[in-house]
Structure 1
Amino acid sequence: MAASIIQLLPDHVANQIAAGEVVQRPASVVKELLENAVDAKASDVKLIVKEAGKTLVQVIDNGLGMNTTDARLCFERHATSKIRQAEDLFDLSTKGFRGEALASIAAIAHVEMKTKQNQEELGVHIVIEGSKLVTQEVAVLPQGTSFAVKNLFFNIPARRNFLKSETVEFRHVMDEFQRVAMAHPSISFTLIHNGSEMYNLPSSNYRQRIVNIFGGKTNEKLVPVAEDTEMIQISGFVGKPEFAKKSRGEQFFFVNDRFIKSAYLHHAIMNAYEGLLKEGNQPSYFLYLKVPPHTIDINIHPTKTEIKFDDEQSLYAILRSAIKHSLGQFNVAPVLDFERDSNLDTPYQYNNKKADYPLIQVDSNYNPFATEKPASRSLSTFGSYKKEASTPNWESLYVGLNQDTQELESFSFESTAVTGKLFDDDAVELKASSTYQIHKKYIVSSIKSGMLVIDQGRAHQRVLYEQFLTSITMHKASSQQLLFPLELYFSSDEMELLSQLQPSLENTGFVFDAFNSDSVQISGLPIAMLESEVSIVLEELISNLHNEIPESSFSQNDSIAKSMAKSLAVKTGTYLTAIEQENLVNSLFACKEPTVSPFQKNTFITLTVEDLDKRFAL
């Protein structure tokens, strides 16, 4: 009989495999520990992170705490206080329920837990390393629980190598922190990263919590949404269309106080904004949905960010109509008003009354030319104007005026006739243009072998890209000073990103006067940029770099140059004069890589005479 080849995995190996689903990065640990603190009915939660969670993720809460038995049992697989039978999965009101999180975290990190219940005098202190219990002892502790997860993936170096830079990982940590904090505004949250306090959110309502996270300017952007039906209760806020951005950052769905992602419900919102947004723009929204727990399944995804609804089509229609109603109610959407303004109605007593015409007195004997000579083009004209006045002896005001102005009459004045041309015909000799623009998209230029067809947008991207990259690396950028400093508002995480990009942006020509907690003051811009384009360029730059910021400075500079070139390049539909066309063509072929755009797409194609002959031979 052949030897068996199927074996049961050891517990520590099974835990490590399960950890691959539950714990993908430090942010996964943050999510699980914060949700446990919320389930423990804490009113104050503190998150402490070092090196974006790679070194330390610690969550301290003042919740119910655990006794000695529960403290040891919570690290076992599928040990949970949330469910007792399989049917409970379809009637959940808590966050964690499968009992996998703590076991998975303990399998791949050094975990230190301190917990005490209110009625107990002493608490318990447990240390676990790679699923192995190191110490368990009694300790004097405050009420609540403290979880410290250190050296994540210490025993799986391959997984640790797949982690991104500290900036990217901390961005994911902040995302998870914001989601839990927004779902529970009654709980106060604090986030400390590498010793500095990033957030301190007091207990508040939904609107105040959103403003505290995303900055004071957010308040004026919000439009409240409210709808209550038997199937769903909707509350929250949507952003005004004029504040829509290119990025999809500030978009949040919460179902029964749990953050979820739903492309289907997002489509309902975009449908409600139809006709209000510029192409490519995304509205912000913070929507809280309450549905009966038995109508949803939240166990279809390991991270529980996707859920299944029983009747998605009805939810789609309700959500879309609720948002349309809110946008119309707050005069955001265009509406037709057929109500008559009563102020414009004719009063009843004036109904049959004739209009009174104003009386005009005309002196039929007045002749302005009777005692005056014809007006001449001299300064004396202003002194010899005769007007009937009621002031006695008014003539004495002008005695001697004619004598004083006799000398002025002899002066000749330079003609200021407008010719309609900036230069005379013989002053500037323009040669016939060798380039032509087609459909405001392509530039055609003749060459010896045939002709070039150049994509004006891609060509301009290449020119700007090399200019910006040279400016950043050589530290020699020119700036145009603004008459009045420009102040732009961003959320706290966007400000964090801008502060890191500040040196590179200054090398492109930006001049920053001040970096505040939620705003930045700019007094100088790159030469090629208009003041109206600044906010668009910076928003697109933040959007492009938000998730994947390269670790090396060169790659980061390359990304900045690409993003700014794409934002500032001429678009399809822009008319270019003959001089602008020639300058663009000359600048393109002065580049190091004129054949492709920064995004590796062809900037031009060549049509030879032979190609044209073949087409005509058909």
Structure 2
Amino acid sequence: MTHIKRLPDHVTNKIAAGEVIERPASVVKELIENAIDAGCERVELRINEGGKEKIQVIDDGCGMSREDAAVAIERFSTSKIQSFEDLETLVTFGFRGEALASIAAVSIIELKTKTASEEEGTFLRAEGGKITQIKEIPWKKGTTITVRNLFFNTPARRKFQKTDLSETRQIYRVFRYYALAYPELYLSLYNDDRPIWRLQPAELFQRIIDVFDPGVKQYLIEVDYHDTQFSVSGYIGVPEWTRSTRTDQYLFLNKRFVKNRTVEHSVYQGYGQTLSHVSGHPFFVLMLSASPDKFDINIHPTKLEARFQDDRGVHHFISQAVRNALGTPQIDVTQPVEHFKKPVQEQQPSKTAAIPFEHHHASHEMPSVIDKVQSEPEFTDQTQRIKYKVDREKIWQVHQCYIFSQVKNGLIVIDQHTAHERILYEKALRMFNQGEKPSQQLLFPQTIQLSRDEIIILNELLRHLNKLGFEIKISDNNTAVIEAVPLEVRIGREIEVLRNIIEEYMKDEYKDLDLHDRLARSFACRSAIMKGDKLTPDEMYKLIDDLFATQFPFYCPHGRPTVIDISMKELNSRFYR
């Protein structure tokens, strides 16, 4: 009796679909690429409920005949290549013949299409990869594909999709790739019948402004550089204009959005020391052109990763292009690409034979990972609280950063920022759980301009921010008005705190953390006392008192220590007593 069996086609099709179609944005990517490959001048995208219920792509490309439409939803059916050798001269997006078949395998699709030479168009309906209806219809040249009930027959995949707002934001991101790569096309996007983008053909500079915001034009620097193997054009941001994440970095290889660590690193190297005085990541939209035989895109079904024959040559070329745009000196890059590491500095011998402190982080070992407040040792022992009882008259602030205080068995040093972070973090969690909502009304409400992505996130977070004490109204023109903030937010920092909460959420969106926990962390971090804030003795005493009243006082929510405990024994040994 054999134990190994050949899987039926309907099972293998669903498995293969999972490689190509991970989420609604994957469907959008494949359908827009098909429209562009069909030679369209216009693409219209319509979505409902984050693309889970409906995705529709309308193009005016070459269309398909009845016969081609029927074959198109079968696996490994493509008009892009005829032989393996064609991969070496590939100029289209599609070539594997899997995209439409994968979409059809996990959804209900309706396809309406017509070529210029035919009098009638074709209507095709398929459910789970099976054609249920095909007929002639009156239609115009081009193709309209409507995808409904994505993952209706794979409930496990459907269950693990993100919220509608998260999926919508990912679709916006994918749409943005093609809007930037093809500024010569008419492109539009509608979300629940509401227009989000209606982009007219334009030069790349204007398209960047249309896609992002009119304010970006003052920060853009043009890149235009060529050699015998490559050419690159586009725009980079001025060094002072950086982003908190890498999401606004766009690399296009022969107009295909790709990810490549070599190129990304080369951009940073091109900026060189100009980024040393700022934090964050540079903005760039770069169009790299190369012969198809110089790179390989057929690495993964999603075709997002590119590999180059000559990594070092590409790295050198891009870094020089960025330097040239910035007007900085061009230097030769001799370090191998595969060793992107800072040089290790030799340790200098110590000038003294002093005994190092054996610092104890409040007598607790630092956990390797602190992702949840429950993972920390709870501070409930009354004896421990007595150990850290401080004298109001024996507290000092050092460099407006650390608080020193004498305790019964020695000395404690407290990081004023991380300590206050811990206090605000636990308070925020209580507010979420108990419904407390203390806030302060602003005498002058603050208006903040946000991107489309940020507005989506703010809508998603709004009811949770209300529980913290924020009162925010969102307008139609991507602006929000802050009318009230939590008591802990210092007046004048309202916009900074809100913007950082949104940015931190964007960075942590796919981490396995509770939403309230993530919001409490970012709120605490941005609202806490900062390094450089001068504190009075009463404020320092209250900070210490509040810290040791928390459940877990020894580490901030991100895992950094709040307290260093230096015993008298250690002090005595330092002075050879």
Note whether the superposition's TM-score is higher than 0.5: yes
Structure 1 residue aligned with 2:438, among 476, 485, 488? 476
Q: Which residue of 2 aligns with 1:494?
A: 454
1:546 aligned onto 2:506 = yes
State how far apart, in whole Å, the 2-side matches of 1:505 and 1:220 are: 33
The aligned runs of 1:7-406 (5 Å cut-off) are 7-277=5-275, 278-328=277-327
State how far apart, in whole Å, the 2-side matches of 1:105 and 1:432 are: 68
Question: 1:498 is paired with a residue of what secondary structure?
Answer: helix
Moved more, 510-519 or 68-77: 510-519
State how far apart, in whole Å, the 1-side matches of 2:144 and 2:231 are: 35
Inter-CA distance 582–257: structure 2 relative to 1 (3 Å threshold): same
Question: 2:233 is paired with a residue of what secondary structure?
Answer: strand
Question: 1:306 is paired with a residue of what secondary structure?
Answer: coil
Structure 1 residue aligned with 2:520, among 555, 561, 578? 561
Q: Which residue of 2 aligns with 1:443?
A: 403
Moved more, 564-573 or 237-246: 564-573
Q: Offset of 1:241 from its aligned partner?
A: 2.2
Q: Which residue of 1 aligns with 2:383?
A: none
Please tell me the residue identity of whatever aligns with 1:433.
E
Q: Offset of 1:270 from its aligned partner?
A: 1.3
Question: 1:546 is paired with a residue of what secondary structure?
Answer: helix
The aligned runs of 1:392-471 (5 Å cut-off) are 433-437=393-397, 442-469=402-429
Q: Offset of 1:560 from its aligned partner?
A: 2.6
Question: 1:145 is paired with a residue of what secondary structure?
Answer: strand
Q: Offset of 1:134 from its aligned partner?
A: 0.8
Q: Which residue of 1 aligns with 2:367?
A: none
Identity %: 37
State how far apart, in whole Å, the 2-side matches of 1:133 and 1:268 are: 48
Inter-CA distance 223–534: structure 2 relative to 1 (3 Å threshold): farther
Q: Offset of 1:237 from its aligned partner?
A: 0.6
State how far apart, in whole Å, the 2-side matches of 1:230 and 1:9 are: 50
Larger Rg: 1
Q: Offset of 1:456 from its aligned partner?
A: 2.5
Moved more, 63-72 or 266-275: 266-275
State how far apart, in whole Å, the 2-side matches of 1:512 and 1:607 are: 45
Q: Offset of 1:142 from its aligned partner?
A: 1.8
Q: Offset of 1:295 from its aligned partner?
A: 0.8
State how far apart, in whole Å, the 2-side matches of 1:536 and 1:224 are: 30
Please tell me the residue identity of whatever aligns with 1:109.
S
Please tell me the residue identity of whatever aligns with 1:538.
L
State how far apart, in whole Å, the 2-side matches of 1:237 and 1:18 are: 38
Question: 2:281 is paired with a residue of what secondary structure?
Answer: coil
Unaligned runs of 5+ in 1: 330-430
Please tell me the residue identity of whatever aligns with 1:515.
S
State how far apart, in whole Å, the 2-side matches of 1:40 and 1:531 are: 55
RMSD of equivalent CA atoms = 3.0
Question: 1:65 is paired with a residue of what secondary structure?
Answer: coil
Inter-CA distance 188–113: structure 2 relative to 1 (3 Å threshold): same
Please tell me the residue identity of whatever aligns with 2:312.
Q
Equivalent pair of 2:104/2:128 in contact (CA under 8 Å): yes
State how far apart, in whole Å, the 2-side matches of 1:103 and 1:493 are: 31
Please tell me the residue identity of whatever aligns with 2:117.
Q
Question: 1:273 is paired with a residue of what secondary structure?
Answer: helix
Q: How many aligned residue pairs are there?
A: 512
State how far apart, in whole Å, the 2-side matches of 1:59 and 1:432 are: 68
Q: Offset of 1:526 from its aligned partner?
A: 5.1
Q: Offset of 1:451 from its aligned partner?
A: 4.2
Q: Offset of 1:570 from its aligned partner?
A: 3.9
Q: Offset of 1:543 from its aligned partner?
A: 2.1
Equivalent pair of 2:439/2:485 in contact (CA under 8 Å): no
Equivalent pair of 2:52/2:149 in contact (CA under 8 Å): yes
State how far apart, in whole Å, the 1-side matches of 2:82 and 2:421 are: 61
State how far apart, in whole Å, the 1-side matches of 2:143 and 2:570 are: 77
Inter-CA distance 575–271: structure 2 relative to 1 (3 Å threshold): farther
State how far apart, in whole Å, the 1-side matches of 2:463 and 2:3 are: 59
Equivalent pair of 1:459/1:584 in contact (CA under 8 Å): yes
Inter-CA distance 474–550: structure 2 relative to 1 (3 Å threshold): farther
Q: Which residue of 1 aligns with 2:562?
A: 603
Q: Offset of 1:316 from its aligned partner?
A: 1.5
Q: Which residue of 2 aligns with 1:391?
A: none
Please tell me the residue identity of whatever aligns with 1:27.
A
Inter-CA distance 613–327: structure 2 relative to 1 (3 Å threshold): closer
What is the TM-score of this pair, normalised by structure 1?
0.76
State how far apart, in whole Å, the 1-side matches of 2:443 and 2:323 are: 43
Equivalent pair of 2:221/2:326 in contact (CA under 8 Å): yes
- What is the CA deviation profile of residues 37-96 of structure 1, one whole-angstrom value per residue up to 9, with x for unaligned ones? 111111111111111111111111111100011101111111111111111112111101
Please tell me the residue identity of whatever aligns with 2:175.
F
- What is the CA deviation profile of residues 86-107 of structure 1, one whole-angstrom value per residue up to 9, with x for unaligned ones? 1111211110110011111111
Question: 1:27 is paired with a residue of what secondary structure?
Answer: helix
Inter-CA distance 217–486: structure 2 relative to 1 (3 Å threshold): farther
Inter-CA distance 514–24: structure 2 relative to 1 (3 Å threshold): closer
Q: Offset of 1:108 from its aligned partner?
A: 1.2
Inter-CA distance 6–466: structure 2 relative to 1 (3 Å threshold): closer
State how far apart, in whole Å, the 1-side matches of 2:220 and 2:484 are: 31
Equivalent pair of 2:169/2:456 in contact (CA under 8 Å): no
State how far apart, in whole Å, the 1-side matches of 2:120 and 2:541 are: 82
State how far apart, in whole Å, the 1-side matches of 2:303 and 2:392 are: 67
Please tell me the residue identity of whatever aligns with 2:416.
Q
Q: Which residue of 2 aligns with 1:381?
A: none
Equivalent pair of 1:514/1:521 in contact (CA under 8 Å): yes
The aligned runs of 1:498-537 (5 Å cut-off) are 498-505=458-465, 508=468, 510=470, 512=472, 515-522=475-482, 528-529=488-489, 533-537=493-497
Equivalent pair of 1:224/1:235 in contact (CA under 8 Å): yes
Equivalent pair of 2:165/2:460 in contact (CA under 8 Å): no
Question: 1:287 is paired with a residue of what secondary structure?
Answer: strand
Inter-CA distance 269–456: structure 2 relative to 1 (3 Å threshold): same
- What is the CA deviation profile of residues 253-283 of structure 1, one whole-angstrom value per residue up to 9, with x for unaligned ones? 0110000112221111112223323453111
State how far apart, in whole Å, the 2-side matches of 1:607 and 1:540 are: 35
- What is the CA deviation profile of residues 559-603 of structure 1, one whole-angstrom value per residue up to 9, with x for unaligned ones? 333212212334557665544432321232344543442335543
Please tell me the residue identity of whatever aligns with 1:308.
R
Inter-CA distance 558–550: structure 2 relative to 1 (3 Å threshold): farther
